């Protein structure tokens, strides 16, 4: 048997029956850590927020810079601040699975995978030298782009369709990539699809909309004290928001209704419903409106799935929870080390949560994946390493009834008794058949005896029937002769009467007739 | 919930009836007894609180259990049948409660009794039900180690043995001339074993070879092979049995010894792939496709080679060869659909290249490209080639089935092969005349691809998708030629004498066509169209847009209409050929959200009535804004739209819309003017009225709608042409159709004309 890997409960500590919301944050560990700090080993913290706030799994020995935490349905990826290594943690087991070295310091990372893909996907890494690396975590294939950026790639974002990848850099540019082109096996050069260069300083944050139609947009924050709202499919600026200080982070409401800008000392709420602009590209001065101050210097934040809570991480290690848009903060956790990233993963514990069909196994980047065989498009040992967590029936073709086949029988198995059509299948026909199938020896003897008995009885009955027939015949003969005699008598009397009345012509005839009838009655009796 | 007292009454009724009924009466009383018994779930696992009730309940439960136990040993087959049903019902009602699990522990006697029944010459229904009941018990104990140890483990081996013996064909003579019933048990037994194997691979290990021998003839049957003396069973021809056998085959690697399951699975996948390759070498030898030298004598039929790791029987003839390939492909697909807690290594490259190879072999006769002679291997007979071409769609279907499964497993990682596959399928479809079965799977795979990479697909690469979209449209509106009746009506004369009298009664033909429910391939086609319409960039769709819209209208398919509206090209000529009026009739809440959108602000934020007023509501209608601004599909969109309210008013001024002079129109104009001033609450009512007007299909309502929806001041010419908004739409469509390559697109204007006629009639009446 293979080692059993639990396929459910991505968070082992969460009760599965309840809808659970949690956050995940990572810490930066300075080279010198005061020795009296509690839990100084902790690097990543999983914290449950709903239904009851409590500490989840803590992962040790990790230190991260901002934008260097990526979460998939099954794993956590953290690019380390001090070395060119990505640490991979298994969320179910709560353990470290791998240390994956890369050639260059990693300045940002982001996981790209479909929601129903169960954590199978690509880890995108932004490097210090302006390149991007895409690592297919369950095949080991590694795709590297040319250094399209001139400086560090500081932030990455991917749209809802997982088709467009955005990378923001210190070189003031945001590149838009087509993921399918990046991942294609065709030997084309990997180049950005569009470049957005309206910012005049380093990009600090990206927040992408949640629509999969062509109207989707992205917000980009820059050190030039602007937040730009633009259409990434056409790299076209739509709205400029002028802000008062340098933005650190951005987060967009889950329904794209508003966004939040995080500054060093405050958070600003911007309602997108309220934004009116008559001309495109016209700047909106946000000023100090809807800003709420923070005593602690803010480093990162995340918004809950329902958009009602904002989680803020601070330099002194505190994590606050506050109701949107401008609620009072409540302390959730104090890590005593700078909080660099907060992520709010998807909610868990829906009633009919569909299991993803696969679960990835981590395959470290393999050099042989880069080498192509002569003419062949896909590298020789390109294999998908996954656990098949659920069975699915792919048959949509008309002929193959596989889909019904299994679900029908499952219904049969789970039926409270047996379905009516099965209960009403007649037993009788097969019973008579089955009796002849394997006759009991005792029964057979009995049967033999009965048959013999039957035989004798039959012969007896036969004799009796013959007897009865004979008796019936004699009886009939007796009755008939009686009747005849009576008839003769009547005729005789009639003749006598006629004689007496003087009809004398037929006496001889009567005598003759009587004789004839006598003979015929005799023959009948025989 | 049923009270405890009622449950006791029900249980008492059950036990009394059971003791009173004669054996031959059992089949008639059992169905009603089971209904009563399902109500008694609580007292069956002794949940009663009151001690007095509990006592009476437990005595009744005890009585029932004794009755079931004695019925299991009963001499009559009716008695045993009744016992099996009662066991299943009892077990099922127990599982509803936590305490019920303990009951399972004491059910070992029942399990033994049922296993004995399987060995007896009982009727088929009894045995089938016994297998199901036993499987259910075994499955229920899964995940509870002590229960599994006590209940399942001791009996599983004998259950497997008896199941296998039931489905093993007995050679005639051995059974004493009794009809072999193994086929009757085949499906049930396989279903049961398929479910038990993943939980208890170790128990199945000793039976591995026996099972393999038993199911391998069914895995890839070759019914059209007449040469081989097929002693395969009748069920070999049944698709269901074959599917089950394949799934069972795919589970067998689990039985491998410690930690060997992964390698075993891989080994079998490689074997299947190798086998497919070899079979294809032989079966496809009539076309220049492979470089293999050893292809057999040209005078002989292609046949299998001897070495066979899968224990399959040999095959002769192209037909059988293709059937074998198909079977093997479906087996491969089954290997990819199983589940198991082990790491699978899916050889993507090998599978993809194999499928690519099979898809590249196409018939030289194609409706699109005409007859070609490329790739023909003249060494072999023409007949062989032709029978190969005939079988190809079956092979392609199975190959796409495998790819579809693989794509699902690969999820995002299939981005790497998606574009290539897209072109491959487009190529294949163009070069063959696909059967419905093949089209069905083509739509499915294309649906997957469009859903994944559709958004970023470029115009150059969308040709394949366009071809398949056209195919899907044709599938959904079959026999486009029937439209000639409509056509002739319109022209006022019948263009061509038609001797089929029925064709004149166009209504009958039409209703007949409409009454049909959608077939699977048509459903798949619809799914694919919706996905393509939603995901593909609007410019890549422009050439097929009229056809899709036609399907959406004729089928009255709301989802398709909705997606068509959501994804329109900005500034295109088709911009005004809008489906919103069609959709507005629907009562779908989604439509309501689209046309009368109201997105709430973030909680806690006070709404500014000026900001969230009516103009924004009106502007939100998802028709394209000005060319310079991309269309936003959220409330946000309205914020960036270059439509200033005063200009809106202008359009609605009476002098601009003089063409309508009815009273109703005046009302509507008032409404349109008011619309800009009313506050939040009133607005909803007004909106409803406006909507009503729209539903009435008055030309004015149309006009109002169109003015509000289209970008008015950017196109003054159109605004002036208000009286004939619908006519404009027709013009737009007409001009669009002129550009379109398809032969069928001419129908669209006709449909719109019909609508126009209706409207003008209404207008006349008004």
Q: How many CB atoms lie within 10 A of CB A195?
A: 13
pLDDT of residue A420: 81
Domain extent for A517: 441-525
Q: Read off the pLDDT of residues B394-438 as tens digits, 9 standing for 90 and up.
A: 999 999 999 999 998 998 999 989 988 999 999 898 888 888 889
Bigger pLDDT: A283 vs B442 = B442
List B residues 81-140 in contact with A (Cβ-Cβ < 8 A): 81, 85, 88-89, 92-93, 121-126, 128-129, 132, 135-136, 139
Which residues from chain B sit within 8 angstroms of residue A259, using beta carbons?
Answer: none
Q: Rounded mean pLDDT of A220-228? A: 94
CA distance linking residue A367 with residue A103, whole number of Å: 13
The shortest CB-CB distance from A388 to any of B344, B412, B600 is to: B344
**Cα distance between residue A349 and residue A21, in whole Å:** 9
Given A141, A159, A215, which is nearest B630 (Cβ)?
Answer: A215
Does B108 score more than 70 pLDDT? yes
User: Under a CB-based contact definition with an 8 Å cutoff, are residues A413 and B136 in contact?
Assistant: yes
Q: Decide if A434 is inside a domain.
A: no
pLDDT at position A445, please? 78
Higher-confidence position of B582 and A221:
A221
Q: What is the layout of strands, in order, in the sheet containing A383-388? A: A358-360, A383-388, B340-347
Q: Which residue of A122, A382, A402 is in closest CB contact with B349? A: A382
H or E element, residue A165: strand A164-169
What is the pLDDT at residue B134? 93
Residues A20, A11 contacting (CB under 8 angstroms): yes
**What is the arithmetic mean of pLDDT over A261-280?**
76
Work out the pLDDT band at B502, boundaries 50, 70, 90.
low
pLDDT at B674: 42
pLDDT at position B635 is 37
Instruction: Report the C-alpha gap between B567 and B531 in whole angstroms.
Output: 11
Structure confidence by residue, pLDDT tens digits, B680-697? 434 444 444 444 444 444
Going from N- to C-terminal start, the domains of chain B cover 4-170+180-224, 256-366+378-405, 614-765
Say whether pLDDT at A142 is over 70.
yes
CB contact under 8 A, A394 and B139: no
pLDDT of B19 higher than 70: yes
CB contact under 8 A, B337 and A392: yes
**Which segment of A119-123, A150-154, A339-343, B625-629 scores lowest on mean pLDDT?**
B625-629
Query: Which of B333, B409, B415 lies nearest to residue A358, judging by beta carbons?
Result: B409
Residue B766 sits at the chain A interface (C-beta within 8 Å): no
Confidence of residue B626 (pLDDT cuts 50, 70, 90): very low
From B393's Cα to the closest Cα of chain A, the distance in A is: 12
Q: B397 contacts in A (CB within 8 Å)?
A: 397, 399
Interface mutation target, options A416, A429, A444, chain B, most CBs of B under 10 Å: A416
Based on the structure, what is the number of domains in chain A? 2
Q: How far is B634 from chain A (nearest CA, A)?
A: 8
Q: What is the 3-state secondary structure (H, E, C) of B455-511?
A: HHCCCHHHHHHHHHHHHHHHHHCCCHHHHHHHHHHHHCCCCCCCCCHHHHCHHHHHH
Whether residues A363 and A465 share a domain: the answer is: no
Cβ pair A396:B444 closer than 8 A: yes
pLDDT band per the 50, 70, 90 thresholds, residue B577: low
> Do residues B473 and B548 make contact, with C-beta atoms less than 8 angstroms apart?
yes
Q: Which of A278, A324, A427 sits opposite B78 (nearest CB)?
A: A427
In A, which residues are within 8 Å of B599 by CB distance? Answer: 255, 257, 273
For residues B408 and B422, give the distance between their C-alpha atoms in angstroms, rounded to a whole number: 15
Predicted local distance difference test score (pLDDT) of residue A209: 93
Select from B440, B566, B612 the Cβ nearest to the Cβ of A396: B440
**Average pLDDT estimate for A244-268:** 90
Instruction: Please indicate, yes or no, whether residues A380 and A468 belong to a single structural domain of this protein.
Output: no
- Indicate whether A119 and A204 sit together in one domain: yes
Determine which of A265-269, B255-259, B347-351, B659-663 has the lowest per-residue pLDDT on average.
Answer: B659-663
Using CA coordinates, name the residue in chain A closest to B33: A417
Indicate yes or no: CB of B453 within 8 angstroms of CB of A180: yes
For residues A201 and A111, membership in a common domain is answered with yes
Task: Give the residue-averaged pLDDT of B513-527.
Answer: 78
Those of residues 48-67 in B touching chain A at CB distance below 8 A are none
pLDDT in tens, A466-494: 999 999 999 999 999 999 999 999 999 98
Task: Give the model's pLDDT for residue A398.
Answer: 42
Per-residue pLDDT at B338: 86
User: Residue A172 — left, alpha, or beta (φ > 0 → left; ψ -120 to 50 → alpha)?
Assistant: left
pLDDT in tens, B109-151: 899 999 999 988 888 889 999 999 999 999 988 888 888 888 8
Average pLDDT over residues A154-167: 94
A241: chain B residues, CB-CB within 8 Å: none
- pLDDT tens-digit map of B367-380: 666 666 666 777 78
Are A291 and A248 contacting, i.e. CB atoms less than 8 angstroms apart? no
Quick check: A423 and B243 CB within 8 A?
no
Q: Other CB atoms closer than 10 Å to residue B751's CB: what's the count?
A: 17
B interface mutation test: which of A194, A290, A410, A418 has the most B CBs within 10 A?
A418
Does residue A425 lie in a domain region?
Answer: no
Question: Which run of H or of E encompasses B694?
Answer: helix B680-696
* List of chain A residues whose C-beta atoms are within 8 Å of the C-beta of residue B170: none
Say yes or no: A339 and A456 in one domain: no
Is the ipTM value over 0.85, yes or no?
A: no
B88: nearest CB among A323, A409, A418: A418
Residue A441's pLDDT is 66
Nearest to B34 by CA among B99, B71, B82: B82
Confidence of residue A279 (pLDDT cuts 50, 70, 90): very low
Q: Would residue A264 count as lying in a domain?
A: no
Band (B241; pLDDT cuts 50, 70, 90): confident
Could you report the per-residue pLDDT of A69-82, keeping only the tens digit for each? 999 989 999 999 88
> For B584-599, what is the mean pLDDT?
74
B201/A1 Cβ within 8 A: yes
Residue of A220, A121, A209, A95 lying closest to A167 (CA atoms): A220
Q: Distance, in angstroms, between A74 CA and closest chain B CA?
A: 14
Q: What is the pLDDT of residue A165?
A: 95
A228: left (phi over 0), alpha (psi -120 to 50) or beta: beta
Question: Do the Cβ atoms of A257 and B259 come within 8 Å?
Answer: no
Given a cut of 80, is residue A440 above it in pLDDT? no
DSSP B62-91: HHHHHHHHHHHT-SSHHHHHHHHHHHHHHH
Chain B residues closer than 8 Å to A303 by CB = none
Does A263 fall in a domain?
Answer: no
Among the three residues A365, A388, A411, which one is the final residue of a domain in this structure?
Answer: A388
Do residue A32 and residue A108 come from a single domain?
yes
pLDDT at A432 over 70: no
Task: Find residues 5-34 of chain B whose CB sits inside 8 Å of chain A.
Answer: 27, 30-31, 34
CB-CB neighbors (< 8 A) of A419 in chain B: none
With CA atoms as reference, the chain B residue closest to A253 would be B602
Distances in whole angstroms, Cα of residue A272 to Cα of each of A219, A258, A262, B626? 11, 5, 16, 20
**Contact assignment for B239 to A401 by CB distance below 8 Å:** yes
**Could you tell me the CATH number of the domain that includes residue A172?**
2.40.128.630
CB contacts < 8 A, A to B, total: 336
Q: What phi and psi, each to the nearest 5 degrees, are found at residue A132?
A: -120, 145
Query: Is pLDDT above 90 for A61?
Result: no
Question: What is the model's pLDDT at position B758?
Answer: 41
pLDDT at B215: 87
- Domain assignment present for residue A318? The answer is no
Decide if A273 and B38 are in contact by the 8 Å CB cutoff. no
Q: In which band, very low, low, confident or very high, does the pLDDT at B624 lie, cut at 50, 70 and 90?
A: very low
> Residue B667: is its pLDDT beyond 70?
no
Residue in B with minimal Cα distance to A398: B437
User: Which of A75-89, A250-264, B291-305, B707-721 is least confident?
Assistant: B707-721
Mean pLDDT value of segment A84-88: 93
The answer, yes or no, to whether residue A290 has pLDDT greater than 70, is yes
Is there a single domain that holds both residue A500 and residue A384?
A: no
Tokens of A270: 């911007």
Asked if B415's CB is within 8 angstroms of A193's CB, the reply is: no
- The answer to whether A214 contacts B408, with C-beta atoms less than 8 Å apart, is no
**Chain B residues whose beta carbon lies within 8 Å of the beta carbon of residue A74:** none
State how far residue A410 is from chain B, nearest Cα, in angstroms.
9
Dump pLDDT digits (tens) for A180-206: 999 988 777 789 999 999 999 999 999
Question: Left if phi > 0, otherwise alpha if psi is -120 to 50, otherwise beta: which for B680?
Answer: alpha
Residue A207's pLDDT is: 95
User: What are the chain A neighbours of B454 within 8 Å (beta carbons)?
Assistant: 161, 163
Does the residue A364 lie in any domain?
Answer: yes
Q: Which of B490, B479, B486, B477 is nearest to B546 (CA)?
A: B477
The pLDDT assigned to A354 comes to: 74
**Average pLDDT of every residue of chain B:** 72
Average pLDDT over residues B653-679: 39
Mean pLDDT within A337-362: 86
CB–CB contact B635 A257 (8 Å): yes
Q: Is B283 within 8 Å of B222 (Cβ atoms)? A: no
Terminus-to-terminus CA distance in chain A, angstroms?
Answer: 97
Distance from CA of B76 to the nearest CA of A (A): 9
Structure tokens at A161: 């369709």
Q: Which of A367, A388, A409 is the last residue of a domain?
A: A388
The pLDDT of residue A396: 40
* Within a domain: A206: yes
- Chosen from B454, B455, B461 to mutate, greatest number of chain A CBs within 10 A: B455
Taking an 8 Å cut-off on Cβ atoms, the answer to whether A378 and B417 are in contact is yes
Domain stops at, among A349, A373, A388: A388
CA distance B399 to B46: 56
Q: Name the closest residue on chain A to residue B642, using Cα atoms.
A: A278
CB-CB neighbors (< 8 A) of B89 in chain A: 416-417
CB contact under 8 A, B77 and A431: yes
């Amino acid at each position: 048997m293979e080692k059993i890997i639990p396929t459910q409960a991505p968070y082992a500590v969460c009760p599965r029956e309840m809808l659970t919301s949690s956050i995940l944050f990572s810490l930066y560990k300075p080279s010198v850590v005061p020795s009296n700090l509690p839990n100084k080993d902790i690097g990543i913290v999983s914290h449950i927020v709903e239904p009851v706030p409590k500490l989840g799994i803590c992962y040790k020995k990790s230190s991260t810079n901002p934008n260097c935490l990526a979460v998939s349905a099954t794993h956590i990826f953290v690019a380390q601040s001090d070395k060119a290594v990505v640490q991979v943690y298994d969320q179910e087991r709560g353990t470290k699975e791998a240390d994956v070295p890369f050639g260059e310091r990693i300045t940002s990372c982001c996981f790209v995978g479909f929601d129903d893909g169960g954590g199978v996907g690509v880890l995108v890494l932004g490097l210090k030298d302006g390149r991007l690396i895409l690592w297919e975590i369950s095949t080991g294939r590694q795709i590297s782009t040319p250094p399209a950026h001139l400086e560090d790639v500081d932030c990455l974002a991917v749209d809802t369709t997982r088709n467009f990848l955005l990378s923001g850099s210190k070189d003031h540019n945001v590149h838009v990539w087509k993921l399918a082109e990046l991942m294609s096996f065709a030997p084309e050069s990997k180049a950005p699809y569009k470049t957005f260069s309206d910012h005049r300083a380093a990009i600090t944050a990206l927040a992408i909309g949640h629509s999969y139609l062509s109207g989707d947009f992205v917000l980009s924050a820059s050190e030039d004290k602007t937040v730009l709202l633009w259409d990434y499919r056409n790299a076209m600026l739509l709205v400029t928001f002028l802000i008062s200080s340098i933005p650190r982070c951005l987060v967009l409401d889950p329904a794209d209704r508003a966004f939040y800008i995080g500054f060093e000392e405050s958070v600003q709420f911007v309602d997108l419903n309220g934004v009116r602009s008559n001309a495109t590209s016209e700047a909106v001065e946000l000023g100090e409106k809807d800003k709420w101050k923070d005593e602690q210097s803010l480093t990162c934040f995340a918004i809950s799935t329902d958009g009602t809570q904002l989680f803020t991480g601070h330099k002194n290690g505190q994590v606050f929870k506050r109701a949107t848009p401008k609620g009072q903060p409540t302390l959730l956790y104090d890590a005593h080390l700078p909080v660099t990233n907060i992520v709010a993963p998807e909610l868990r514990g829906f009633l009919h949560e569909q299991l993803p069909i696969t679960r990835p196994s981590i395959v470290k980047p393999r050099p042989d994946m880069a080498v192509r065989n002569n003419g062949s498009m896909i590298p020789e040992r390109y294999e998908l390493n996954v656990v098949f967590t659920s069975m699915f029936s792919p048959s949509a073709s008309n002929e193959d009834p596989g889909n019904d086949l299994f679900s029908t029988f499952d219904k049969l198995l789970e039926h409270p008794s047996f379905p009516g059509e099965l209960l009403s299948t007649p037993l009788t026909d097969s019973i008579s058949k089955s009796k002849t199938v394997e006759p009991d020896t005792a029964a057979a003897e009995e049967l033999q005896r009965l048959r013999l008995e039957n035989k004798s009885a039959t012969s007896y009955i036969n004799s009796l029937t013959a007897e009865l027939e004979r008796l019936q015949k004699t009886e009939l003969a007796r009755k008939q002769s009686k009747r005849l005699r009576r008839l003769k008598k009547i005729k005789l009397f009639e003749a006598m009467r006629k004689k007496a009345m003087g009809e004398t012509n037929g006496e001889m005839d009567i005598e003759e007739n009587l004789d004839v009838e006598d003979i015929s009655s005799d023959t009948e009796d025989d | 919930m049923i009270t405890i007292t009622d449950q006791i009454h029900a249980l008492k009724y059950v036990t009394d009836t059971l003791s009173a009924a004669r054996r031959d009466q059992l089949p008639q009383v059992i169905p009603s007894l089971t209904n009563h018994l399902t109500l008694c779930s609580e007292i069956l696992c002794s949940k009663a609180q009151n001690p007095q009730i509990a006592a009476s309940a437990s005595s009744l439960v005890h009585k029932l259990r004794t009755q079931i136990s004695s019925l299991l040993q009963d001499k009559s087959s009716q008695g045993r049948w009744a016992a099996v049903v009662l066991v299943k019902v009892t077990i099922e009602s127990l599982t509803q409660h936590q305490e019920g699990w303990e009951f399972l522990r004491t059910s070992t006697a029942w399990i033994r009794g049922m296993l004995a029944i399987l060995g007896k010459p009982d009727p088929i229904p009894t045995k089938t039900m016994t297998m199901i009941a036993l499987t259910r018990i075994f499955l229920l104990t899964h995940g509870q180690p002590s229960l599994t140890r006590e209940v399942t483990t001791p009996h599983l081996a004998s259950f497997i043995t008896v199941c296998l013996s039931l489905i093993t064909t007995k050679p005639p003579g051995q059974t004493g001339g009794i009809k072999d019933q193994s086929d009757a048990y085949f499906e049930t037994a396989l279903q049961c074993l398929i479910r038990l194997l993943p939980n208890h691979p170790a128990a199945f290990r000793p039976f591995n070879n026996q099972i393999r021998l038993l199911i391998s003839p069914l895995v890839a049957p070759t019914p059209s092979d007449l040469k081989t003396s097929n002693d395969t069973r009748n069920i070999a021809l049944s698709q269901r049995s074959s599917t089950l056998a394949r799934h069972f085959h795919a589970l067998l690697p689990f039985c491998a010894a410690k930690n060997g399951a992964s390698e075993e699975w891989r080994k079998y996948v490689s074997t299947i792939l190798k086998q497919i390759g070899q079979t294809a070498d032989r079966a496809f030898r009539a076309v220049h496709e492979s470089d293999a030298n050893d292809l057999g004598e040209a005078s002989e039929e292609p046949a299998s080679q001897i070495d066979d790791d899968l224990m399959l029987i040999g095959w002769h003839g192209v037909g059988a060869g293709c059937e074998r390939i198909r079977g093997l492909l479906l087996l491969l697909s089954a290997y990819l659909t199983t589940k198991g807690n082990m790491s699978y290594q899916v050889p993507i490259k090998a599978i993809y290249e194999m499928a690519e190879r099979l898809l590249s072999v196409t018939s030289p006769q194609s409706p699109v490209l005409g007859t070609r002679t490329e790739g023909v291997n003249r060494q072999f007979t023409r007949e062989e080639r032709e029978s190969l071409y005939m079988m190809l769609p079956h092979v392609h279907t199975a190959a796409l089935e495998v790819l579809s499964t693989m794509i699902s497993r690969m999820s995002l990682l299939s981005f790497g092969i998606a574009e290539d596959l897209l072109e491959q399928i487009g190529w294949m479809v163009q070069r063959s005349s696909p059967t419905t079965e093949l089209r069905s799977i083509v739509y499915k795979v294309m649906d997957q691809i469009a859903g994944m990479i559709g958004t970023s697909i470029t115009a150059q690469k969308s040709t394949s998708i366009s071809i398949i979209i056209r195919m899907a449209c044709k599938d959904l509106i079959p026999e486009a030629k029937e439209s000639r009746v409509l056509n002739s009506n319109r022209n006022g004369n019948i263009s061509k004498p038609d001797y089929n009298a029925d064709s004149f009664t166009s209504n009958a033909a039409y209703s007949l066509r409409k009454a049909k429910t959608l077939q699977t391939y048509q459903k798949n086609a619809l799914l694919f169209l919706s996905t393509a319409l939603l995901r593909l960039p609007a410019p890549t769709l422009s050439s097929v847009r009229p056809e899709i819209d036609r399907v959406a209208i004729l089928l009255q398919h709301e989802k398709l209409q909705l997606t068509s509206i959501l994804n329109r090209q900005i500034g295109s000529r088709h911009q005004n050929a809008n489906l919103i009026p069609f959709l507005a009739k629907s009562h779908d809440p989604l439509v309501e959200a689209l046309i009368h959108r109201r997105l709430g602000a973030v909680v806690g934020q006070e709404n500014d009535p000026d900001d969230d007023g009516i103009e924004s509501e009106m502007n939100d209608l998802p028709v394209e804004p000005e060319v310079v601004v991309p269309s936003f599909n959220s409330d946000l969109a309205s914020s960036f739209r270059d439509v200033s309210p005063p200009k809106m008013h202008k359009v609605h001024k009476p002098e601009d819309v003089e063409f309508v002079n009815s009273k109703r129109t005046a009302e509507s104009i008032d409404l349109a003017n008011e619309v800009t001033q009313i506050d939040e609450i009133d607005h909803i009512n007004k909106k409803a009225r406006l909507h009503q007007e729209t539903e009435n299909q008055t030309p004015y309502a149309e006009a109002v709608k169109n003015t509000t929806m289209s970008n008015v001041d950017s196109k003054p010419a159109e605004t002036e042409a208000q009286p004939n908004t619908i006519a404009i739409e027709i013009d737009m469509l007409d001009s669009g159709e002129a550009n379109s390559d398809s032969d069928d697109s001419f129908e669209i204007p006709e449909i719109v004309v019909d609508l126009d006629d209706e409207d003008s009639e209404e207008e006349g009446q008004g």
